[in-house]
Structure formats: structure tokens, C-alpha cells
Chain A
């Protein structure tokens, strides 16, 4: 690996100086793609015919990247890692991808994900499971599993992701890289296969905060095709990274971070918190104030259920368009409803079907008040609780998950009751549309772990700058995965 382990700025400089050409970068990235595909199964499509572009002043120009397979890419297979769209080639680009393309970015592959983003393991895509590049017996988490795997393995400096619960930020944590989803609506959702529209965010996985800022600067912007997008032309993420965070205020939540809140905590969990509090000390050394705050435990306990109810409800409606009639493989049957039923029965994995059943159930007239509307109310309470924190603090800082990447065996999407809030708190970032970034904060037995920084809506510059300063005070920037076994 000569180039693809470098940062965007380094590569841009080399391209500008003529030390390397766009074609050479693509060639290396494609070779690495095939290698990583062989080892970890991270891609749905590898674009062997990718061509270089002219090098402009845009840092992204001429540099390869990966695109999650739920982004519509004109003329290029876009499956959402689902059998229902296994041959679907869109005839229009997702706005975010169109913007990257016009910045000169070069897509070299489409990355595997959990089917339509509905999963957190990277094991439910129609092309098979994605292995963690640090340890092949472990998962990358999901749903942006392929993107996280490829960036961590050094295939390119960045890959796009989408995040409905934690689908960028969790896999980034398990793969030892940076995962950032900006404020809801900063990046247009047009052309992204929807999972749960009110929670869906686009974002990026990189190996540094600066790279994340640069990429999102090029993806964001108001879009006439997405009414929830907003004008962020006054926000310049990369330019706002000064590293000066003196006087910034952070808080962490006692109910999540205090080891005494857990009965029989594992050694792994202790070490994870140990890493976290070392990072907290670094924050203080950087001149930030960090305080412990308390949030009602009952409210926190409801978090995961609220997510399930709302995301499943929206998903079941959003994915009603998948019938195999207009696009997708036509099902068998004499009538349109028989064909639709056959297509959906055969096409969707059982996990997704389970979620559709939940979504339908909570939306039924007789259940809607008890489940769906109550979930919306609790969502509001949780968002308000976080917004209250943002009145006093620049950001909430919390550990991501309960430790390093989980093993495939014995682990599934079911959550242990003890650590459920610890595992799922990132979802609040989706409930409120908050800017949220995960950065690595250490290792446990050679496997990366991470922390997350989440701030108030539209305060992306501040959140990224805090992450940038902390990243610089630690040693994990730009790291490439090294297999531990």
C-alpha cells in the first residue's frame, strides 16, 4: 500500500505536485478492493473500469472512494444489499453522490450493508457477511459494514454511509475509524434508499476528523428534491477545525458511564470505560470542562423500544414500493398481488420481515395510540432531555457500545438488558437529528474501541472541532486495521 493509507490532504498535495496520478490511485484502490473482497467480503460491486478525473482545487478530485450500496448511482448496480433489488440499476444519482462526483471524487466500489440498512451486524446483506478487518471472527457492526471495513483496511480514505440508528457510528467504532453523520437534512436524502425517513441520515466513514469534514463539505447542501434539506452554505466544516477548544463544555451521562450502574461488569467493559475516562482527562487537559449529568433512567430504558417502533413503522411503509412490478425481479403468480407476495416472500430476509410485522402492528388503528404515538411522545421527551443538556454544554460525550466488535457466534441483534442503553444511546442522535461523530479512543486486546461526541442541531462545526482536538490529543488518527489473529 503506497497511497491509500494517506489522508485526503496528503493525496491532494501529491496529485497537485504530480507525484502521483489519479489513475495510479485508482489502480491501487482497485487492487486493494479485490484483496479486501477476498478477505472480508466488503463489496457488492467493484468498478474495474473506474477512470481518473482532472485534478482541480477540490481536495476530493481524482481520489477514489466507496459508496454504500443504498445510494442510487446512475448506471451502476445499487442493491441496498437486498435480493429484492439484486439487479436494480438506477437511472438517476442520489444528490449526495452527484455532488461528490462533481467534486471529482471517483467511486471504485459499492459497499455491502445490512439489507436496506436494517441491521447492526453486517451479516444480513444478500452477498453474505462482512468480516472485521481487525479480527475475521468478529463483525464490523452495521449497517455500513462494507464502508467501515474498506476504510479501516485502507482501500481508500473514505466511504459514504447512512445512519438511521447508529449505522455509521457503530461500525466506525468497531473498525477503529471515524464515523460522522451531520445534522438531519444537511445532506439531501434524495436517491438514498429509505429505511425510516425521519431518522435517516447520510454521512461518511474516514480515518480522521479532518477527512470527514472535507467529505461532508462536498456532500451537503440544500436540495430542491428534499424538503427536509436546509441551506448550510454558511457552514464550512473543514475550515472550522482550529483545534482550539478552550472553555468548551462537555458532559457525560452517569446512568450510562458509571461502572457502578452495572451489576457484574465484564473486564472488557471496565477497560472500555477506562479508555473513555482517559479520553475525558485529555479533554480536560485541552482546556474543556467536563461534567457528569444525570438523565431519568426510565426515559433511557425506553430508548431502544422507541427506536424499534418508529423505525419499523416508517420502514414498512417506505418499502411498500418494493413489489417487483415496476423494478426488481418479477415474482411468480397469476395476479399482481400474488406476484408481489411471491417477490417479497422470497426477496426479503427474515429479519426484515420481522421488522415489517412489528411496523404494521404498531401502526394499526387499534394499536397506534399505544405504540406508535407513545413512541413519538417518548422520542420528543428524549430529544428535549438532550436539548436541555445542549443549553449548558457544547456536546455530550459517551462511550460507543460495550466494548470492541462482537463475535459472529453467539452474538445476534438481540440485546442484553444490562447494556442496552450503552449499546443504543447513539439513536438519540437520530431522534433529534443531532450532529454526531465517533472517533477511536483506544484498544482492548488489540481491538479498537471508540467514543462518540454529539451536539445540538446545526452546531456541526463545534462538534467536529471538539472531536478534532481530542483526536489530535490521542494516537489513533489515520490507523489502518491490523489483523490480531
Chain B
């Protein structure tokens, strides 16, 4: 018998793009120096109070709108009470579904393997992050830099049927967060963390009926997209095996965790041992009304997202869908491309360079576009040098490499490397005349009908100019003069 997988995601994304934390005035910034960005509230000292960062709420509302969620009339925050050393207050300020959080009951359309899919969003809430802990051999160290950072948590309905769909959705959302400018959404900085719900049901049953969905297994703390894919596939396999062994029905609803080392999920606790978080409305943050004016303002400020950019690249710039997809995948790369075009570069040429040389350089060196020495200005200059035939396109690639290697401007490289082509016709003519004067015998044997007959003369010109004469001009001029002589 076949089975259908019912997969839901809880996606946590750190709102890295605000100056300060969500309820604390400490700096919200990634730092490798531990405990650098902290205020008394992040350590839970007695008497400290949360103050809501309006920008974080604004960003969360923007995400809520893009997820087609309903926004609440009043903003409330709640306390989730539990003891853990990475949370010094021992409660987390978050939101629950009652009262309504920053967004509820929406949907997102995304693409998976070229197919359009839709996933329903149960809710989106804004909360504070915990500190990060490092478990060493016999001790654990805690870094409070992250404590209190804004976190968007979105909860989907179990609408994914495969790991591919779940990962395609995560990639879509990463792009949304980046395009909205609310998060760098960088998994390497731990910005995105997921919990995955997986259950399987018999193929023959109606998936619209929740009682057919099977036993929910939650896999906590999956911190990479690859991990999400592996965890889902592992669970589907594990649960299918239980079905086939006939022990599936004995499996309790449970929480497991993804273990990167063993590439497997490990049992943590069953539903019966679930923590009672004793939620109640955070008394230190007065509820406040979200005015229609403010919501309208936020809606109007939603920037162009990847899908719209892609369409524009295809329609306005005549780029292929393939190229456009590559360009918009990472917002910063797309921004780099747009900047280059804005500086007056032909979009197709800019696209070729960005998708070609630049992306392969980034991939090869495993760096981001922020870290590359090349700027849109430099790329514009480089393309211009080729366009006006100052250098050949083959030389262009060498210049590109030298710019990055030696951290120089393209023009500087061209000058220093003596790559400047001679395009001045009278200068070339002088050399052409010189070559003709020095080679009377060759002129005698010159055959205008033989295409290879010119090669010797051009070779002489290049020799004299050390390769700098523009070959096109030299060729045309030489042929004209020789042909005239032969007439």
C-alpha cells in the first residue's frame, strides 16, 4: 500500500535587519565576540521591563501581509513560561493564537520543480530569541548576544507532501524575507531554524479529513535546508517502516530532534510529557490598536518581491526565464545587477557577467556578493572597456581576475598591464605603412582571393604594437591598402 506524507513546518527566521532587539535597546547585530550586545533586560536582572521595538512590529506586519494573513485589531504579547538557561527571565515574550498574533490564516504560493503550489499559513508571530549555547565536552557556555533578537515564527498547515515541497517553500520564504529587507535570512548565521511535523496516511484515505492524518511527529531544531530535507525523508522512511511492521498505531504523538551526526531523528518526549507553558498576556506591554493608516502605510511600503522582479527582467530587459531566475534568487545579487544596469550598462551584458563570472567566483570562493571586491561601478567600467574596444573580451576576463586579485579598478589594471588597445586609426595607419614598406616581397606574392594571405601582414603589425593594435581596424586598413596596390 502507498502512503501520503503530511508535512508542516514551523519556520523561525531572525529579524536581523533592525538596529536594536525586539524588547531591548541592545544592538541587534551578529557578532563573534560573545556577550557584546547586551542590556540588563537580556540578562533578566530584577526590575527590567520590555519595550517594544516598533520597527520589528512593522516588519512582522509586512511579512504577515505578504503571507496573505489577517492582521489583528490590537497587538498583544504573551508570556510563555518555562525554565531554560538560555533564557534568563525564564519566560519568553511571544504571541499565541488567542488573542490573534501579528498574522493568522493566510497562504503562500510558491514554485516547486516548475509547478505552482499553495501552502496555507496557520499563523505568524513575533517573539524574542533565546541566547545561544555551545555545548563543550563537560560544560556549556552561553552567549547572550542573540537573546532578545526579534524572531518571526510562521506555522504552516500540513500541506506539504514531500521534502522537495517543504524545501522549495523554505527557499521561497528566505527570498521573501530578504526582499522585504527584514532579515538577511542567512542559515550560516543561524538566522533560519525549523521544526518539522511529519505524519503519513494511507493513500486511499481523504487528506481533507484531519482525523486521517496519522500521528504527528514533531522534529525540533533543524537548522539547515538540507537538514529539513533529510529529516523529512528519514521520518517518512521510519514511519513507513512502522506501518509495514504493523506497529505504527502504537507510536505515541511525540517530539524528536534531528541529529546531524547520525543523520537520524532521536526521541525526546511524548505528547503526554509536553510542557505546560502557562501562557498569559504580558502585563508590561499595554495592548495597542493597529490603526488602518499605519497598516495602509506598511502595505504601501512592501517592496517588489522576487517573482515581480523576474517578470520585469523578462519583459523589460528581454532576459530569458532561466537567467532571470538565477538573478533574482538572492536579493543582493539581483540588487547588484540592477545597480549595474542603472549605471548605464546593457542588461544582457550585465546579466552575462553577473550570472557567469561573478557567480562562479562567489561559488568558488564560497563568499557572498557583499564580500567580493568588484562593485557595480567597476563592472560597468569593465563592460565599457570591452564595448568601446579598449580591450578584447578575452582580455576582459583577465582584467576581471586581476581586479579581484590585486584589488584595483579595471581601468588601472588595463593601464598597468599595458592592455590598452590602439584604436587611433592614424597611429595604426603609421604602423601599417611601415609594415608595407618593409615587406615588398610579400606584397608581390599577396593574393587577395586567399583569406589567409593577410595573416602575415597583421602578424607584423601586432608584433610592432606588441599586440595592442585593434585587430579589426588593422585588418580592415591593411586589406584596403593591399587590395588597392594589387588593382
CB distance from B79 to the nearest CB of A (A): 6
Q: Is the CB of A72 within 8 A of B83?
A: no
Q: Does A320 contact B (CB under 8 A)?
A: yes
A198-B283, A363-B280, A365-B276 known; A193 and B49 CB under 8 Å? no
19 more contacts with CB within 8 A, not counting A225-B49, A363-B81, are A92-B40, A196-B283, A226-B51, A227-B49, A227-B52, A316-B81, A317-B81, A317-B280, A320-B90, A321-B88, A322-B46, A323-B83, A325-B88, A326-B45, A327-B45, A360-B278, A363-B279, A364-B276, A368-B280
Total residue contacts A-B, CB cutoff 8 A? 91
**Interface size classification for chain B:** 20 to 34
What is the bound-complex CA distance between A365 and B275, given in angstroms?
A: 10
> Which chain A residues (330-388) contact chain B, with CB distance < 8 Å?
336-337, 340, 360, 363-365, 368, 372
A190 within 8 A of B: yes
The residue of chain A having its C-beta at the shortest distance from the C-beta of B274 within the complex is A365
Decide if A320 touches B89 in the complex (CB within 8 Å).
yes
Can you name 7 A-B pairs with beta carbons within 8 Å?
A189-B49, A194-B46, A227-B51, A326-B44, A336-B85, A340-B83, A368-B278
Question: With contacts A197-B284, A325-B85 known, is A224 near B51, CB below 8 A?
Answer: yes
**Residue B50 CB within 8 A of the other chain:** yes
Interface residues of B in 383-431 (CB under 8 A from A): none
With a cutoff of 8 Å between Cβ atoms, the chain B residues found around residue A196 in the complex are 283
Residues from chain A with Cβ under 8 Å of B446 in the complex: none
Max chain A C-beta neighbours (<10 A), residue from B43, B50, B81: B81
Q: Within 8 Å CB of B252, what residues of A? A: none
Q: Are A227 and B40 touching (Cβ within 8 A)? A: no
Q: CB distance A90 to B280 under 8 Å? A: no
Q: Is B459 an interface residue, CB under 8 A from the partner?
A: no
B47 at the binding interface (Cβ < 8 Å): yes
How far is B285's CA from A140's CA once the two chains are assembled, in angstroms?
Answer: 34
The answer for the CA separation of A114 and B195 in the assembled complex, in Å, is: 44
Interface pair B46/A363, CB less than 8 Å apart: no
B44 and A321 within 8 A (CB): yes
Smallest CB separation, A458 vs chain B (Å)? 15
Contact digits for B77-102, partner A, Cβ 8 Å, 1 yes 0 no: 00101010100111100000000000
Return chain B residues, CB-CB under 8 Å to A226.
49, 51, 284
B344 within 8 A of A: no
Instruction: Indicate with 1 or 0, residue by residue over B258-286, a CB within 8 angstroms of chain A CB atoms.
Output: 00000000000000000010111001111
- Given A320-B81, A320-B91, A321-B90, does the pair A227, B284 have CB atoms closer than 8 Å? yes
Given contacts A92-B40, A323-B90, whether A190 and B85 have CB atoms under 8 Å apart is no
Nearest A-chain residue to B44, judged by Cβ: A321
B48 within 8 A of A: yes
A320 vs B88: C-alpha distance when bound (angstroms): 8
A363 partner residues in chain B, CB cutoff 8 A: 81, 278-280
**Chain B residues within an 8 Å CB radius of A441:** none
Answer yes or no: A129 CB below 8 A from chain B CBs: no
Contact B47 A94 (CB under 8 A): yes
Judging by beta carbons under 8 Å apart, are A197 and B90 in contact? no
Asked if B280 and A227 make an inter-chain contact with CB atoms under 8 angstroms apart, the answer reads no
- B277 nearest CB neighbor, chain A only: A365
Contacts of B47 in A (CB 8 A): 72, 90, 94, 189-194
CB distance from A336 to the nearest CB of B (A): 5
Shortest Cβ gap from B138 to chain A (Å):
11
CB-CB < 8 A to B280: which residues of A? 313-314, 317, 363, 368, 372
List the 9 closest pairs (A to B, CB-CB), nearest first: A320-B90, A363-B278, A198-B283, A321-B44, A197-B283, A191-B47, A193-B46, A336-B85, A72-B47
Give the interface centre of B49, B81, B280 by most chain A CB atoms within 10 Å. B49
Known contacts A80-B46, A90-B45; is A225 also within 8 Å of B81 by CB? no
CB atoms of A321 and B89 under 8 A apart: yes
Q: What's the Cα separation between A196 and B280 when bound, in Å?
A: 13
Q: Tell me if A85 and B51 are in contact (CB < 8 A).
A: no
Task: Name the contact of B286 in the complex, choosing from A228, A322, A337 (C-beta under 8 A).
Answer: A228
Nearest residue (CB) in B for A340 is B83
Known: A198-B283, A321-B90. A364 touches B44 (CB 8 A): no
Min Cβ gap A377→B in Å is: 13
